[in-house]
Structure 1
Amino acid sequence: MRAADILPDHLDDGTFNGVSVRKGTVGAFLANARVWANPLTSANERTTAENDIVDALPALRALGLFDVLAIRDAGLQALVDSH
């Protein structure tokens, strides 16, 4: 299956398991996870990344991301588990 089979190029979002998910949600989660886990990240940037991670969790769960991929960073896993 290709990305276009899930969400065609002309669409910016789709509904998965009853949740609207924007194109780019998984990529944004990965980028925010890198920022959040980086010890050189400022407190303000870390807070912004954390808020964006938490906001994306319903969509990521609707996609089943955490059913097939495990988070290796214990702190990030704890953040995800707490929401």
Structure 2
Amino acid sequence: MSYRDVSSTALDAAEALTRFVVHAQLMLDPLTPEDMRREIEPQLLSVLPTLKALGVFELFAVRDPALRNLIDDELTQRSLRLAEELA
């Protein structure tokens, strides 16, 4: 792996974490309109594989119960789909 690959991976990881935090904050903001939440949710969920690979969810806990359940459900569904594909 070259320096460029490592740098690109670090940027991708930082971008994924930034996107997650920004989208999570919007999801939790009571002033965020419902139609915007529906647009944001898939974007938030799309970065979960990267964050899981980085070990973010082993280090940090999502305190909001609804957001935590959304994330847990999505990660479970992704794991089940992967297991089915590999079977």
Per the normalisation by structure 2, the TM-score is 0.70
Q: Which runs of 5+ in 1 are unaligned?
A: 1-6, 16-20
Secondary structure at the counterpart of residue 39 of structure 1: coil
Tell me the percent identity.
29
Moved over 6 A (4+): none
Tell me, in whole angstroms, the C-alpha distance in 1 between the residues paired with 2:53 and 2:16: 11
How big is the alpha-carbon RMSD for the aligned residues of Structure 1 and Structure 2?
1.8
Question: Residue 37 of structure 1: CA displacement?
Answer: 0.8
Structure with greater proportional helix content: 2
TM-score by length of structure 1 reads 0.73
Unmatched 5+ residue regions in structure 2? 1-5, 75-87
Q: Which residue of 1 aligns with 2:77?
A: none
> Of the two, which has the highest radius of gyration?
2
Partner of 2:63: 72
Q: What is the count of residue pairs matched by the alignment?
A: 68
